Amino acid sequence: MVDVLNQTTYVLDPLSIDELTEAVRILREDGIGKDRYLFTQVELAEPPKAAVLAVENGSSAGLPRVAKAVIIDRVEHRSDEYFVSLDEGTVIDRKRIETGQPTFTMPEIFSIESVLRDDPRFQAAMARRGVTDMSLIWVDPWSTGDYGDETEYAGRRYVRGLVWVMDGAGDDNGYAHPVENLAVLFDLNTQEILRIDDFDPVVPVPQKRGNYRPEDVGELRTDLRPLDITQPEGASFEVDGSLVTWQNWRLRVAFSPREGLVLRTVGWDDGQRVRSILYRGALSEMVVPYGDPALIHARKNTFDVGELNLGALANSLTLGCDCLGEIYYFDAALVDAHGDPYVLKNAICMHEEDFGVLWRHFNWRTGKTEIRRSRRLVVSSFSTIGNYDYGFFWYFYQDGNIECEVKLTGILSTGAIEPGQTPVHGQLLNETGLYGPIHQHFFNFRLDLDIDGLTNSIIEEHGEADPPGPGNPVRSAFRNVKTVLKTEHEAQQLVDPLRGRTWKVINPDVTNGIGEPVGYRLVPSGNVGSFSGADSSIARRATFITKHLWVTPQTDGEIFAAGDYPNQHPGGGGLPAYTAQNRSIEDTDIVVWYTLGSHHQPRPEDWPVMPVAYARFMLMPSGFFDQNPALDLPEPVAHKNGHHCCS
């Protein structure tokens, strides 16, 4: 387990507890008191990529450790970025956030509930629905977005509160009892209720419970026998600080309060050198737009990275539950909203797992079989964002593949209709009028690929049928068509599974054994398009969902697909701003941004807690190796008799 209490050893390691403590101390001396200010995050201000690579290539010059803090001033109603030199012990820069708002903090999220419970207007709205006990109220704050029709609140930091009710039990699932047609606008700085939207008709609050703990389920299955995963000699990976060595893989594991799990300097050791593949890979942004036009659901969308700090909402993972086998954990060092540092234990889980057959062939002439089993390294984390739980899993395979998988689970954000009606934009969940509105999840991953170096280009590939003629006598010929994408605008593309579209990042300066540029292929594995209109607020603010592929030249500071501060931002930030110049992306250091979509039409089986749904993509070597790189794996052993499977 990584001890984040110790000082860091690598230039890109996240700030340690000691460094966070020192950064906050310096800020306190600069006038950032506890009562007036809220911290949304304190993290490493990453050095320029060129400087990091210079250090890795043997430069004797060290890199300064600088902390970046985002702080809300609740008196002046402003927010600022502070940059703190840990080497010099001073604040070296301060920048005001002019457009948008920082992510929400936990005290702000909890504050709306206590204020609302004491408000006579809110009490009257709940009384219309037969609810008088305010201790049973749940209020989930949702970001307000920017729809251009609430200009009277310009400059305020506010949220839209949606309401649920518990049925009296302390651990009751309040999402079983949504309050329809009621929403509250709440100023987080002034703790003021700006507006209560109490719409007609008054829809009865669904009463049927939706609890899912063992005592609520009834008789549990008794025919499930133990399944033990053991590695008597320990795991095959080695860890040195943030550096992980496994098979031929070399990578660093990091954590960000905004992005969560971050992978750095991923490469393949061929015995002579470590060949670079991925300088930095992480979730850049995600958004969940709802498709129900009902009064309180139409504006339900949230940027879980840029509005809610997905990383800071990560879970502490549990052996035997979240992770199974011989586990190694990485802790995360964070600060809370008051600037107090703390350690999130077991924020990242790493282990090996069997993944079935990697390659095999039965020679029917000789009767002999050669088979090798696949083992993969798993690096994962989970974050809970209100009702939803998201797992982010990176898999590293022995044949050079890298897979990214999102696991979606948790509880539906529910609504209510009159009993006996059928929702058009959702799925009825029980007979009391409870329903799940239709919605989508979009995840954008920023992949700073360095395939055998920095000089990279990207090629679009797809299949095409040959035209009929003498060269295609039986009309069955087809080929792979390759097109170099030369500019940022050319690279804005959609998936096309019917033509097998993939994208290949190559290094034209490095060739493989057959004289072709080495490369890695981005392979989609299920995706969906956005149904939001081109002129909609969500399309303006989350433009990244309109294309599955974006490519930019690597530029320090261009990190987030929807911009630095999408909260209450009118739109146009992030990728549309980055790509506005239509820069060249040929033979240069490029960043691939991949948007992964999941379409969720709820079903009864998703209630009261949904089984995991999956969304994924693959980074696959394509000419990076001269042949199958997993030929050298040993034969598997049948453990019961100790014989090799291929003998």
User: Among this protein's residues, is 35 annotated catalytic?
Assistant: no
Q: How far apart are CA 562 and CA 550, in angstroms?
A: 12
Catalytic choice (279, 328, 388, 520)? 388
Pick from 164, 163, 146: which is nearest to 155 by CA?
A: 146
- Among residues 449, 433, 438, the alpha carbon closest in space to that of 619 is found at 449
d(CA 184, CA 144): 10
In the set 292, 304, 452, 564, the catalytic residue is 304
State the Rg of the chain over Cα.
26
CA 285 – CA 188 distance, rounded (Å): 23
Query: Is the backbone peptide bond immediately before 608 cis, with ω within 30 degrees of 0?
Result: yes
Token pair 């015995």 in the structure block, residue: 271
- Contact call for residues 366 and 389 (beta carbons, < 8 A): no
Site of tokens 């402003």: 78
Which residue pairs from 389-394 have beta carbons closer than 8 angstroms and sit at least 24 positions apart in sequence?
389/315, 390/286, 390/304, 390/310, 391/612, 392/260, 392/261, 392/283, 394/261, 394/263, 394/281
Alpha-carbon distance of 105 to 312, in angstroms, equals 10
Helices (H), 441-507: none
Give the integer Cα–Cα distance in Å for 289 and 327. 36
Indicate the residue type of 30. Answer: D
With CA atoms as reference, report the closest residue to 615 among 472, 484, 495. 495
Which phi-psi region, left, alpha or beta, contains residue 329 (left: φ > 0; alpha: ψ -120 to 50)? Answer: beta
Task: Report residue 647 as tokens.
Answer: 């003998």
> Can 388 be counted among the known catalytic residues?
yes
Please answer whether residues 404 and 390 qualify as being in contact, where contact means their C-beta atoms are separated by less than 8 angstroms: no
- The DSSP secondary structure of 370-416, one letter per residue, reads EEEEEEEEEEEEEEEETTEEEEEEEEEETTS-EEEEEEEEE----EE
Cross-sheet strand order for the sheet of 415-416:
415-416, 434-437, 426-428
Active site residues: 304, 388
